[in-house]
Amino acid sequence: MASTAAVIGSTGLVGNVILSTALGLDAFKTVYTISRRAPKPESPKLAATLETDTTKWTSNLSSITPPPSTVFSALGTTRVAAGGIANQWKVDHDLNVELAKAARAAGVKTFVFVSSGGTRAFPSSNLPYSKMKVGVEDSIKSLDFSQAIILRPGIILGHRDVPHQGGPLLIGLIHGLGKISQGWQDKWGAEAEVIGRAAVHASVLAAEGKAPSNYWILEQADIIRLGRDEWKA
């Protein structure tokens, strides 16, 4: 049976892939988005809400009727784009948590969150970035969705409209690793394409009752498997 989905963060690198992948599947008959600027893909199945005031987004999500069966959040900014860590926290942590709560209250069954790998290990667990991601993951867990899916990718490869700060050297290194050995690259990073497909693939498997648990964490290796090795489009 075809269902509906909502994608938050659809104008970002991974969110854009989630959106275009979901639009391409018969499993979804309508895909909603809530974003500041217009998402890239065009489709008769796309129902886009453009709202520049992000404090309205929870309300915009709650007013989708009937509620989407699946909500994907790939929402995240960078410290530079947000204008400091406090502002980044408001979006990456607070807004994601508020959206998850609104989704749960509206009766959304499946919540998919694109988090980040390596955030629970010392010493990176002390970084504000890690604390933001862990905080959102823990909130989603406590909301007890019928199905939650958390993706923990390593370095995200792909073309960004706004370059990642401090990233080019590291991203260059990971790309270089891929030229020597795909296996090495797979350990540290993945193309945005692979991560976005993994998110959608996992949600489809969950809808078919094939999720291994109702709080399903996809680590880097699971992301490569679902988004590339076992992905048939």
Interface with ligand NAG (CB under 6 A):
49-51, 56, 59-60
User: Does residue 41 have a cis peptide bond before it, meaning omega lies within 30 degrees of 0?
Assistant: no
Element (H, E) at 73: strand 70-73
When the beta carbons of 16 and 35 are compared against ligand NAG, the nearer one is 35
Query: Measured from the CB of residue 188, what is the shortest distance to ligand NAG in angstroms?
Result: 39
Please identify which residue in the block is written with the tokens 């530079």.
Answer: 80
DSSP state of 117: T
As given in the structure block, the two tokens for residue 7 are 């994608």
- DSSP bridge pairs for 189: 155
Which long-range CB contacts under 8 A does 123-129 form with residues at least 24 apart? Answer: 128/85, 128/88, 128/89, 129/79
When the beta carbons of 3 and 49 are compared against ligand NAG, the nearer one is 49
> In 3-state terms, what secondary structure has residue 3?
strand
When the beta carbons of 39 and 153 are compared against ligand NAG, the nearer one is 39
198 and 223 in contact (C-beta within 8 Å)?
A: yes
When the beta carbons of 7 and 211 are compared against ligand NAG, the nearer one is 7
Query: Measured from the CB of residue 101, what is the shortest distance to ligand NAG in angstroms?
Result: 16
Intra-chain end-to-end CA distance of the chain, in Å: 19
Q: Which amino acid is at 158?
A: G
Query: Measured from the CB of residue 56, what is the shortest distance to ligand NAG in angstroms?
Result: 4
When the beta carbons of 35 and 130 are compared against ligand NAG, the nearer one is 35
Query: Measured from the CB of residue 35, what is the shortest distance to ligand NAG in angstroms?
Result: 10
> In 3-state terms, what secondary structure has residue 6?
strand
185 and 173 in contact (C-beta within 8 Å)?
A: no
Please identify which residue in the block is written with the tokens 């929402």.
Answer: 75
Query: Measured from the CB of residue 80, what is the shortest distance to ligand NAG in angstroms?
Result: 27
When the beta carbons of 59 and 181 are compared against ligand NAG, the nearer one is 59
DSSP state of 125: G
Query: Measured from the CB of residue 58, what is the shortest distance to ligand NAG in angstroms?
Result: 9
